[in-house]
Structure 1
Amino acid sequence: MADRSTDIDRIMDPDSVAIVGASTDETKRGYQAIETLQEGGYEGDIYPVNPSADEIRGLEVYSTVSAIPGRVDLALIVTPAPIVPQILEDCADTDLAGAVVIAVGFGEAGEDGQELEDEIVSLAREHGIRLIGPNTSGLINVHRSLNLVGADTVPEGNLALLCQSGNMAISLFTEAATRAGVGFSHYVGVGNEADLQFHEYLSFFDDDPETDAIVCYVEGMSDGRAFLEQARDVTTDTPIVVLKSGRSDVGKRSASSHTGSLAGDAAVTDAVLEQAGVVSVERSDELLSVANALSSLPSADGENVAILADGGGHATLAADALAERGLAIPQLTDETQDNLQDVLPDAASVVNPVDVAGGTDEDQSVFVDCAEAMLADPNVDALMLSGLFGGYGIRFAEQYTDVEIEVADDLADLAAEHEKPLVVQSAYEGFDTDPHAVLRENGIPVVESLDVATASLEALATYGERVAAATESSDFQVIGTTDTAETISDALASGRTQLSEFESKQALSEADLPITPFELATSPDDARDAAASVDGPVAMKIVSPDIVHKSDAGGVALEVSTEAASDTYDDLLAAAHDYDPDSQIDGVLISPMADAGVELIVGVVDDEQFGPVIMCGLGGVFVEVLEDVAFRALPLTEADARGLLEDIDAQELFDGARGNPPVDRDAVVDLLVSVSEFVEANPSVSELDLNPVFATEDGVEVVDAAITLESDGTARVDGEAPISRGTTDD
């Protein structure tokens, strides 16, 4: 096999490009690609390839890539899919670094297409060629005028764009072209990720001097684990902003456990991306603005945002929008308020949000006085200017535009002096006014949407803490290759993938997790004897690998006395038989009643993109109603576990609501780390439910447990690099 360690610099920044499938027909991609390169100013060598032509746009045409006399860095292949294998075969001895495969009809088109995709990947690997695509819109290096997409207007800037939709790419190019100050260094249509994948581009852009932030539109990842691992390293220097499509409930996959049904695509994706230091956005209009803010402004030291508005409506709505995102609207110091009162009308509000109450209508320099006081306030980490700035020359008199230009310069200087981010939201953003141009030239974002402005401020306010947490987070390496729990090995050997509660607790007990004491009764007499050995009433639960949710089957009895244990045993078996006549009944589990506490659920699900993911939140029978849960990718560090616990909304329950004692948080953290270690040591575990787990001031107790296995689970890793099940790793 040829060496595949070629630096992708030759692909992303090529000195020569072959257009395979070049055409004399001006309506064909093979002609338009050459035209775009020539008219766009690409200074590298262009080699048209077509066995039936001699000259195209003044360039000599070659019959094959191997016939080209010079070294070719990159090939743009615009032929139909069935011809691609032969083209790659022809490139065997050409030192070609990479190929952009435009054609559709590969893995996205069904079984036959997947076979064709596998074939071209095999050929590429054999000949040391890296592939972009197939099913890609192309590649752009804006600073080199290399445009293999054909998009008309791609403004130059500092954002690298990775996209799985050609239409979304065009939309983002168009948005950037109509918004001064936002532009691109590179664009890659990643397509099917048959060879080059998301994480490999991250590494390149992190080292690219022309790129200050990476923007991703993602529909799915071939290797989500590798993305997390690479992103964790990249985000310490280069922000990554991701818009993941498919966030609706329709995208939730069906699963047998509570954890599976709660692990919706959006919830898991947002959590694990944050764990790696990545910023997620929910709307397409936030994507470029948030990335632009992160690339041009300093991160805020905290989440305290001051609002300076030229109207009460904007002030109130801005405060609401920031509060909804969890940002604080701090009280300004007395000194700041005094300074504001000195320059504003008596009717102005100076408590934050600050409403100038018409104080800037005739003298826009008041904005500078207010901003200076607010940015100097030690309670303020960031400033938002909201309302109509930049439009005073349109609203009132043209000469005000000159004043606003000076104000814009002064505002930018103040933000730089205080090293605090300033974001401007203006209803006149779409008018492309000179004051706005001055702000943007100085790296100050100007947006029209209040939601987009607050999304940018949220990212700026949380980014430093997010990246710091990521450095203490998991390395996302799941090392285990062989199950260590004997119970799990025995179940797989017998062809079973669903453990009963008894077996699940056995496996967890072997790993020293805090399980309530338990005993399996296989007769009414056993049940009575087991209950008699417990000081106090017991809980009795049916044991069956076929009945996961025992309460739904009437298979749970609580507060059972020793005297009632025998009859209860018979009742539980009868209820289980009525629920599922064909179910295998192994007996009844007897346990002492657990101490009441905060009911939690701790679970693990094997996400198809990101591999094993742990969940923790409020548990019990209403877990799927409340949905107060949080996620992290495994394995967990202690910092991950603490962050996971802090992400649960109902913090007041942990702190001791309504006079109850606070929960032992350290014990919960220890449990989460122990579960992580258990799953890492037993790669056949595909789902795990601990529900409920009772957390008290004295510790935690796992009351119920269910484990689902995957017979080929030991394929989760190859001993080195982590992969998600169902993917390959080379």
Structure 2
Amino acid sequence: MTDRSADIDRIMDPDSVAIVGASTDETKRGYQAIKTLQKGGYEGEIYPVNPSAEEIRGLEVYPTVSAIPGRVDLALIVTPAPIVPQILEDCADTDLAGAVVVAVGFGEAGEDGQALEDEIVRLANEHGVRLVGPNTSGMINVHQGLNLVGADTVPEGNLALLCQSGNMAISLFTEAATRDGVGFSHYVGVGNEADLQFHEYLSFFDADPQTDAVVCYVEGMSDGRAFLEQAREVTTDTPIAVLKSGRSDVGKRSASSHTGSLAGDAAVTDAVLEQAGVVSVERSDELLSVASALSSLPSADGDNVAILADGGGHATLAADALAERGLSVPQLTEETQAKLKAVLPDAASVVNPVDVAGGTDDDQSVFVDCAAAIIADPNVDALVLSGLFGGYGIRFADQYTEVEIEAAHDLADLADEHGKPLVVQSAYEGFDTEPHAVLRENGVPVVESLDVATASLEALATYGERVAAADESSDFLLTGDTDATETITDLLSRGRTQLSELESKRVLSDANLPITPFELATSPDEARDLAAAFDGPVAMKIVSPDIVHKSDASGVALGVDADEAGDTYDDLLAAARDYDLDAQLDGVLVSPMADAGVELIVGVVDDEQFGPVVMCGLGGVFVEVLEDVAFRALPLTEADARSLLSDIDAQELLEGARGNPPVDHDAVVELLVAVSEFVEDNPSVSELDLNPVFATEDGVEVVDAAITLDTDPAVPVDSELVASGGTTDD
């Protein structure tokens, strides 16, 4: 097998290309591909391949790839799907690095198509050829003139695009073509990811001098875990922005636990991508602007954003938009306010948002004076200039254009001098004015929408935070089954996949998790004796591997006195039989009543794309109604656990609402890390549910637990294989 990273270099930056399926018919892609390469200025060798032709557009035609006398780096295969296997067979003794398989009719087309896809992957691996696609629109190296797509509106720039939809790629190409300062270095239609997958392109883009940021449109990743691993390594130098489609609840899979039901596609994807340093974008109209800002601006050191506006409406709307995205609009220092008052009229607001109140109408250089004062403020991490800047020459008088051009140069210098991002939102963005061109040429984004401007600022703040924490975050490497418990091994050997609460608590207690004390009663008399042995009222719960949500079966009784425990035992068993006559009933669990506190849920679910992820949030019986939860991918570091805890919306509860003491954050963090270690040691655990977990100022206590096993767990990613550029299927 050849060096996989070297192969990718040859694929992305080839010195020679074979067009397999080349055609003399000008309407066919096999003709258009050659024409596009020639007209696009591609300087490498072009080898048409067609057994029935001799010459196409002045080029000698070869019957097969193996008949080409020179080395071929890349083949564009534009034949029908059934012919692809024989083409790959022909490449057995060549030094072909990669093939772009355009045809449809593979894995996306059903069982027969999947069998054909498996066959071409087998042949490609056997002959040392990497595949792009199949079912791809192609690929482009814009700076090299290598256009294997045929799109003629792809502006040159510094963004690399990985895209799973040809139409989406065309949309982004078209959008970029209408905007100054936005363009592409590379495009890859990843298609079905049958061989080359999303993560395998990242290292190339990271090393590519023409690429400053990576843009991804993702419908589904074949190996999301590998993407997290690779992204974590890349994002410290090369930002990555991802737009993930399929964000609705329709995509949720059925699950037996609360954790599984809450693990929606978007919730998990956004959280784990952010954990890896990737910026997740929710709207298609924000994607290019966010990526462009990440590529040209310094990241923000925090989330404190100042607003400089030439109207009260823009100032207020900007403040609202920032607040909605969780960004802060801090008060400026007295020194900064004094500087602003010295250059603005009395009617101006100088607290933040700063409204110049007409102070720039006759002299737009006042924007520079204001921005200089604001951007130097220690309370400010970023600045948004909102309103009409760049359009004063259109709105008022032509002579203002020259003033704005000079002001644009000065504004860009200020941002560069202070190392703080500046984003300009202007109502005149669509007019392509010269002041805006100056800003863009100097790396300052200019956008029309406040929402897009604030999305860019949020991305810069998020990216800055994640890069700063990269060394303390997870490496996403799962070590595998290192210390599986005997109980889990035994249950799996007997075909059991659902643990009862008793079994779950025993396993977790053995792993030293803070489980509330518990005993099993198998008769009314035993229930009375156990209740009497505890100090005070007890909680009693039915024990059955077939009844996961015991409250739904009236299988829980709280605050039971010892003299009531026998009758309660009988009542709980009767209710369980009414709920499910066939359920296995092992008895009743007896535990002391736990101290009141904030009810949390802590859980783990095995996500189809990213593997095991841990969840924490507000728990109790209404957990699905509240949906105040956050996620991170395993394995968790302490920093990951603290970040996860900070993502819960109800921070006021954790900090002590209405005079209550704050919960012990350190204890919650320790529990999250312990859960992560437990699941990593037991990869057969597909779902784990700890709900409720009572968190108090003195610690945490797990009151209820449920574990679901998978008889065929996913194989952990091999870190050495990933480092070598391979895939988990090799």
Shorter-chain TM-score range: over 0.9
Q: CA deviation at 1:641?
A: 1.0
What does the per-residue CA deviation read over 1:81-128, in whole Å, with 9 as the maximum and x for residues that have no partner?
Answer: 100000000011110000000011111111111111110000000000
8 Å CA contact 2:542–2:587 kept in 1: the answer is yes
1:334 aligns with 2:317: no
Q: CA deviation at 1:5?
A: 5.9
Q: 3-state DSSP class of the match of 2:596?
A: coil
Please say which of residues 257-266 and 654-663 is displaced more in the overlay.
654-663
Distance in 2 (CA, whole Å) between partners of 1:127 and 1:99 is: 12
| Distance of aligned partners of 1:458 and 1:718 in 2 relative to their CA distance in 1, 3 Å threshold | closer
Distance in 1 (CA, whole Å) between partners of 2:411 and 2:716 is: 53
Q: CA deviation at 1:164?
A: 0.4
Q: Which amino acid aligns with 2:598?
A: V
Distance in 1 (CA, whole Å) between partners of 2:383 and 2:544 is: 59
* Partner in structure 1 of residue 269 of structure 2: 269
Q: CA deviation at 1:583?
A: 1.0
* Partner in structure 2 of residue 76 of structure 1: 76
Q: Which amino acid aligns with 2:526?
A: D
8 Å CA contact 2:138–2:188 kept in 1: the answer is yes
Q: CA deviation at 1:525?
A: 1.7
* Partner in structure 1 of residue 556 of structure 2: 556
* Partner in structure 1 of residue 165 of structure 2: 165
Q: Which amino acid aligns with 1:408?
A: A
Q: 3-state DSSP class of the match of 1:595?
A: coil
Q: CA deviation at 1:470?
A: 2.6
Q: Which amino acid aligns with 2:619?
A: G
| Distance of aligned partners of 1:3 and 1:209 in 2 relative to their CA distance in 1, 3 Å threshold | closer
Q: CA deviation at 1:351?
A: 1.4
* Partner in structure 1 of residue 211 of structure 2: 211
* Partner in structure 2 of residue 539 of structure 1: 539
* Partner in structure 1 of residue 435 of structure 2: 435
Q: 3-state DSSP class of the match of 1:670?
A: helix
Unaligned stretches of 5+ residues in structure 1? none
Q: Which amino acid aligns with 1:241?
A: A
Distance in 1 (CA, whole Å) between partners of 2:203 and 2:153 is: 26
1:183 aligns with 2:183: yes
Q: 3-state DSSP class of the match of 1:729?
A: coil
| Distance of aligned partners of 1:340 and 1:3 in 2 relative to their CA distance in 1, 3 Å threshold | closer
Aligned pairs for 1:484-495 within 5 A: 484-495=484-495
| Distance of aligned partners of 1:341 and 1:670 in 2 relative to their CA distance in 1, 3 Å threshold | same
Q: CA deviation at 1:356?
A: 1.4
Distance in 2 (CA, whole Å) between partners of 1:216 and 1:466 is: 18
Unaligned stretches of 5+ residues in structure 2? none
What does the per-residue CA deviation read over 1:6-38, in whole Å, with 9 as the maximum and x for residues that have no partner?
Answer: 431110000000000001111111111001000
1:116 aligns with 2:120: no
Q: CA deviation at 1:466?
A: 1.1
* Partner in structure 2 of residue 465 of structure 1: 465
1:96 aligns with 2:80: no
TM-score computed with the length of structure 2 as normaliser: 0.98
1:664 aligns with 2:659: no
8 Å CA contact 1:4–1:125 kept in 2: the answer is no
Q: 3-state DSSP class of the match of 1:231?
A: helix
8 Å CA contact 2:48–2:62 kept in 1: the answer is yes
Distance in 1 (CA, whole Å) between partners of 2:714 and 2:21 is: 44
What does the per-residue CA deviation read over 1:165-217, in whole Å, with 9 as the maximum and x for residues that have no partner?
Answer: 10110111111111100111100001111111111101110111111111111
Q: 3-state DSSP class of the match of 2:386?
A: strand
Distance in 2 (CA, whole Å) between partners of 1:468 and 1:366 is: 35
* Partner in structure 1 of residue 509 of structure 2: 509
* Partner in structure 1 of residue 529 of structure 2: 529
Q: Which amino acid aligns with 1:397?
A: A
Q: Which amino acid aligns with 1:605?
A: V
Q: How many residues align?
A: 727
What does the per-residue CA deviation read over 1:643-667, in whole Å, with 9 as the maximum and x for residues that have no partner?
Answer: 1111111122222221222211111
Distance in 2 (CA, whole Å) between partners of 1:246 and 1:714 is: 23
Q: 3-state DSSP class of the match of 2:420?
A: coil
Distance in 1 (CA, whole Å) between partners of 2:175 and 2:597 is: 52
Q: 3-state DSSP class of the match of 2:444?
A: coil
Please say which of residues 539-548 and 324-333 is displaced more in the overlay.
324-333
8 Å CA contact 2:718–2:728 kept in 1: the answer is no
Please say which of residues 291-300 and 600-609 is displaced more in the overlay.
291-300
8 Å CA contact 1:481–1:718 kept in 2: the answer is no
* Partner in structure 2 of residue 65 of structure 1: 65
* Partner in structure 2 of residue 651 of structure 1: 651
Aligned pairs for 1:482-631 within 5 A: 484-631=484-631
* Partner in structure 2 of residue 387 of structure 1: 387
Q: Which amino acid aligns with 1:196?
A: L
Q: CA deviation at 1:729?
A: 3.2
* Partner in structure 2 of residue 30 of structure 1: 30
8 Å CA contact 2:158–2:213 kept in 1: the answer is yes
Q: Which amino acid aligns with 2:424?
A: V
* Partner in structure 1 of residue 637 of structure 2: 637
8 Å CA contact 2:598–2:695 kept in 1: the answer is yes
| Distance of aligned partners of 1:717 and 1:172 in 2 relative to their CA distance in 1, 3 Å threshold | closer
What does the per-residue CA deviation read over 1:528-578, in whole Å, with 9 as the maximum and x for residues that have no partner?
Answer: 121121111111101111100000100000111111111111111110111
Distance in 1 (CA, whole Å) between partners of 2:338 and 2:63 is: 79
1:707 aligns with 2:702: no
Q: 3-state DSSP class of the match of 1:299?
A: coil
1:321 aligns with 2:289: no
Please say which of residues 249-258 and 678-687 is displaced more in the overlay.
249-258
Q: 3-state DSSP class of the match of 2:7?
A: coil
* Partner in structure 2 of residue 354 of structure 1: 354
| Distance of aligned partners of 1:684 and 1:718 in 2 relative to their CA distance in 1, 3 Å threshold | farther
Q: CA RMSD in A?
A: 1.5
* Partner in structure 2 of residue 371 of structure 1: 371
Q: CA deviation at 1:489?
A: 1.2
Distance in 2 (CA, whole Å) between partners of 1:86 and 1:624 is: 53
* Partner in structure 2 of residue 233 of structure 1: 233
Distance in 1 (CA, whole Å) between partners of 2:245 and 2:260 is: 20
Distance in 1 (CA, whole Å) between partners of 2:609 and 2:472 is: 23
8 Å CA contact 2:390–2:435 kept in 1: the answer is yes
Q: CA deviation at 1:481?
A: 2.5
8 Å CA contact 1:479–1:720 kept in 2: the answer is no
What does the per-residue CA deviation read over 1:367-412, in whole Å, with 9 as the maximum and x for residues that have no partner?
Answer: 1121122122222221111011111111122222222111111111
Q: CA deviation at 1:715?
A: 3.7
8 Å CA contact 2:635–2:676 kept in 1: the answer is yes
Q: 3-state DSSP class of the match of 2:318?
A: helix
Q: Which amino acid aligns with 1:376?
A: A
8 Å CA contact 1:480–1:719 kept in 2: the answer is no
What does the per-residue CA deviation read over 1:291-340, in whole Å, with 9 as the maximum and x for residues that have no partner?
Answer: 11111111122222111111111010001111111111121222222222
8 Å CA contact 2:225–2:717 kept in 1: the answer is no
Please say which of residues 399-408 and 450-459 is displaced more in the overlay.
399-408
What does the per-residue CA deviation read over 1:239-296, in whole Å, with 9 as the maximum and x for residues that have no partner?
Answer: 0111111111111111111001111011100110111111111011111111111111
* Partner in structure 2 of residue 414 of structure 1: 414
Q: 3-state DSSP class of the match of 2:563?
A: coil
8 Å CA contact 2:77–2:101 kept in 1: the answer is yes
Q: 3-state DSSP class of the match of 2:291?
A: helix
Q: Which amino acid aligns with 2:497?
A: T
* % identity of equivalent residues: 87
What does the per-residue CA deviation read over 1:139-186, in whole Å, with 9 as the maximum and x for residues that have no partner?
Answer: 100110000011111111111110001011011111111110011110
Distance in 1 (CA, whole Å) between partners of 2:44 and 2:722 is: 39
Distance in 2 (CA, whole Å) between partners of 1:377 and 1:147 is: 47
Q: CA deviation at 1:728?
A: 4.7
Distance in 2 (CA, whole Å) between partners of 1:447 and 1:485 is: 56
| Distance of aligned partners of 1:717 and 1:403 in 2 relative to their CA distance in 1, 3 Å threshold | closer
Distance in 2 (CA, whole Å) between partners of 1:518 and 1:596 is: 17
Distance in 2 (CA, whole Å) between partners of 1:304 and 1:511 is: 42
Q: CA deviation at 1:70?
A: 0.6
Distance in 1 (CA, whole Å) between partners of 2:401 and 2:714 is: 67
Q: CA deviation at 1:480?
A: 2.0
Distance in 1 (CA, whole Å) between partners of 2:82 and 2:540 is: 63
8 Å CA contact 2:158–2:212 kept in 1: the answer is yes
Q: 3-state DSSP class of the match of 2:470?
A: helix
8 Å CA contact 1:375–1:415 kept in 2: the answer is yes
Distance in 2 (CA, whole Å) between partners of 1:29 and 1:197 is: 25
Q: CA deviation at 1:721?
A: 5.9
Q: CA deviation at 1:712?
A: 1.1
Distance in 1 (CA, whole Å) between partners of 2:718 and 2:57 is: 50
What does the per-residue CA deviation read over 1:418-469, in whole Å, with 9 as the maximum and x for residues that have no partner?
Answer: 2221100011111111111111011110001100100111112232221122
Q: CA deviation at 1:220?
A: 0.6
